[in-house]
Amino acid sequence: MTQRKRAVPIFWPAYDGADVQAAMADLFPADMSNRWLGQAHRVDEFEALFSKKFGYRYSVSVSSGTAALELAYHLIGIGEGDEVITPVLTCTATNIPLVRLKATIVFADIKDDFTISPEDVEKRITKKTKAIVAVTLGGIPIDSRIPAIAKRYGIPLVIDAAQSVGVGEKYGDYICYSFQAIKNFTTGDGGMIVLRNKKEYARAKKLRWFGIDREAKIRANWQPYKRRQMTMDIDEPGYKFHMNDIAASIGIVGLKHSDEYLRHRKKIAMYYDTHLDRLKYTPVSGGTYWLYGILTKNRDQVAEKAGEAGIETNMVHLRNDIFKVFGGKRLPLPTMKRLEKEYLYIPINTRMSVDDAHYVVRVLNAA
């Protein structure tokens, strides 16, 4: 008997509607008594709660995960001609800022779990290597050999943890998170950069807000000029990367529910792990389970059959080297070449049920 077709989306934003609405009511009272909507008290609260939950000391919220990465690259001092080793398979947001900085992008191959290959990273290090970027793709933790390599050569390590929201990343000199709409919890859009020392923390806070020392401006009651004297100065040009209280309020709610969201995603992933036909599919998932990947020799046929059944699938990310902005040429990277025609992501989100996962498994195992 043919099972009834249903819609199972690959992504769905994770939020508690009632809690978000309550937070917005507090932020937008009917009597308009709340004066602060931009970067204010809620932003400070979100940063403090995030740091406490994940064991960080220096967390700086920003407007996006990409902004967090760009701040990291700025703090390192990456410029024209500097070599940056980065994975070939990632969201283009990892590498677009490097193009604007006129850095030389050195693409490294991946492992079978789609994270950057330690062996390939090490062989690509030169005297011009300014940084290494490792990505927790799909929420899968990076290989522990990567930070060891970075430390051995004295090279800053940036962790693009955009897809690892909900856990504390222990590696990296700079850790960059994303709270974009479909991440494990969201602020609508937003990000966080985690620093390892007080000096860079202070610098990052200024850089996210044009280069202005916001604390100094607050101490001067927001007056930039008093008694013919400037109350603050700008010694380094920054960005408009700060978070606002609207986004932070949604983030505070998301943080409250983040463990619950992770448990649900893991439950869906465990069902897939147990019930997908291992003769047809090799699962690729872990960590925060933001994505659930499969490797299959019949990728395009499987995607077509899933689509006919109302199940969304997607490759999500393409190898970056084939985009014109990065050179537009497939590099000789053997693991990427082998996996390129095999990988596919299937639905995993907080709105779907185990019964939805059962439906996905039935369709895929029959494909």
Quickly count: other Cβ atoms within 10 Å of residue 46's Cβ.
27
pLDDT tens digits for range 232-277: 888 999 999 999 999 999 999 999 999 999 999 999 999 999 999 9
CA distance 166 to 168: 7
Q: 3-state DSSP: the chain helix, strand, coil percent, rounded to 5? A: 40, 15, 45
> String of b and e for 175-186 (b: at least 16 CB within 10 Å)?
bbbbbbeebbbb
The answer to whether 298 touches 364, Cβ cutoff 8 Å, is no
List, by residue range, all CATH 3.40.640.10 domains of the chain: 17-254
pLDDT tens digits for range 134-182: 999 999 999 999 999 999 999 999 999 999 998 988 899 999 999 999 9
The answer to whether 159 touches 171, Cβ cutoff 8 Å, is yes
Write down the pLDDT at residue 283: 98
Q: What residue ranges of the chain have pLDDT lower than 70?
A: 1-4
Strand order in the sheet with 282-284: 282-284, 292-295, 343-346
DSSP category for residue 160: E
Give the domain 258-366 fold: Aspartate Aminotransferase, domain 1 (3.90.1150)
Token pair listed for 35: 């004066």
Start-to-end C-alpha separation, the chain: 16
Task: Give 81's Cβ-side CA count (13 Å radius).
Answer: 2
Write down the pLDDT at residue 4: 63
* CATH architecture of the region 17-254: 3-Layer(aba) Sandwich (3.40)
The answer to whether 291 touches 345, Cβ cutoff 8 Å, is yes
Write down the pLDDT at residue 3: 55
Question: Closest Cα to residue 175, out of 320, 101, 72, 54?
Answer: 72
List, by residue range, all CATH 3.90.1150.10 domains of the chain: 258-366
Write down the pLDDT at residue 231: 77
Longest dimension (CA), the chain: 84
C-alpha distances in angstroms, 92 versus 249, 269, 321?
28, 26, 10
